[in-house]
Structure 1
């Protein structure tokens, strides 16, 4: 292989790694380049130097997840505009979305063991919302102690926002927490961190059933989860939910119907 060949292959690997829809299991060129990434020191050196210059870091590179990259905050490839998925009108919206992101991570990977083990985990916006609200209730009841009491984020989510609010046409309003959780899941899907699970019916027409991916697991296992996730999984709330979350067949049944009035 010449230096020109290596430069071309580095570019192709970056292209594949930055496209969550590509899989080495379904793409022969990607598979061959991934083999070279592991066995050819010249290609690996050229790739690492190029990635470093772009502010990219390799989280994992295997046939299951593919080449998973994460961009440093200063990278020109870092995601800085989430308006395509999230409607952030101020600090309050940002807090709610942050809890939804943390709740999604905690639901899919509730324990260190779950992060280590391969396998997908089913998740819906209702699961995430219930987990966050259960935790907020435990904080408010002083079963869990946080500095400053309930905390601004938890209060905004559990007290100031409705679980469900409907438009005149019966659609979920953008500022109710179930819809905001769904928006977070849609954003994660755009990066290949969750995918639609079509084997079971969705809880509502405008909601979907999702499954986590090995890319998501790699992000959590190597890059680490957000502080919100650590707060949720480090508590005693919803222990039954977290235990059941290890079952790859899907989340537990809450035993009661979802109240669309949000009561």
Structure 2
């Protein structure tokens, strides 16, 4: 005879994991979701079942709370991985694949750093970061300018370090790109760095990591506000290979304490 109680628990665990794929749904607006989160907090056996079930699906649980809901990330090799290759391919960029990954990776990294510029901001659950496309684009360009200055100071071509492939070509390519490149129809061309940033911000918005705010009167552009879901992602994951590359070069301050970061597959974007 089948154990109906265990079957109900397994179904409930799978349902909670499934909510993690619906980032726009929150426990505050869904009674079933809220009840499952409450059970996860109060029942260690259920929490264990959720964690092991997620692992079997190729997912790592990053956090479960009434504020963020279920937050998980794809483990290496999981069917749920979103490859940076796939994301970059949608942009139809002209450079080689390694450069494409790095261009988009460094942009996602810049968004995370600008959203949480201080360690205490990342650690504070009540902190809300704000970013806009123009400041992200300008920040990445300033990083690339710094790398170019270092290359000039060395009076030689700088080969990318063995542990950081692609960075050299990344800053060279980025500096050659225009910030904006209007097409004949008045749209932004895919080669513009502003387009890369806009795609990254839209990607995060679609996955419930950012919310759209009103238009900034000074910059006349839409601003984005971070969600707790995104804060958990940035706090727990060094999201791209570009993070490690820039951290090694000392260009960017570290995000959180070193032992508080877990590095995921460097070719994997947020799930």
TM-score after normalising by structure 1? 0.78
Q: How many residues get paired?
A: 237
Match of 2:80 among 48, 62, 77: 77
Match of 1:138 among 131, 142, 146: 146
Quote the residue 1:104 is aligned against: 111
Quote the residue 1:5 is aligned against: 8
> Does 2:187 correspond to 1:182?
no
> Does 2:124 correspond to 1:113?
no
Give the unaligned 5+ runs of structure 2. 161-166, 254-271
Moved more, 63-72 or 135-144: 135-144
Describe the SS at the equivalent of 2:29: coil
TM-score after normalising by structure 2? 0.76
**Equivalences for residues 157-172 of structure 1 within 5 A:** 157-158=174-175, 160-172=176-188
Q: 1:29 to 1:97 in 2, by over 3 A?
A: same
Describe the SS at the equivalent of 1:82: helix
Describe the SS at the equivalent of 2:82: coil
Distance 1:234 1:212 in 2: 26
Is 2:211–2:224's contact at 8 Å kept on the other side of the alignment?
yes
> Does 2:169 correspond to 1:152?
yes
Moved over 3 A (4+): 83-90, 143-150, 199-204, 229-239
Instruction: Please report the RMSD computed on the Cα atoms of aligned residues, expressed in angstroms.
Output: 3.0
**Equivalences for residues 31-70 of structure 1 within 5 A:** 31-70=34-73
Deviation sequence 1:180-234 (CA, Å, 0-9, x none): 1101111112221112113646956xx6421121111101111234343455578
Quote the residue 2:265 is aligned against: none
Deviation sequence 1:58-86 (CA, Å, 0-9, x none): 11111221110011121122224436954
Give the unaligned 5+ runs of structure 1. 240-263
Is 1:122–1:210's contact at 8 Å kept on the other side of the alignment?
yes
Is 1:103–1:232's contact at 8 Å kept on the other side of the alignment?
no
Distance 1:218 1:86 in 2: 27
- Indicate the structure with greater strand content: 2
Distance 2:7 2:173 in 1: 55
Shift of residue 33, structure 1, vs aligned partner: 0.6
> Does 2:208 correspond to 1:192?
yes
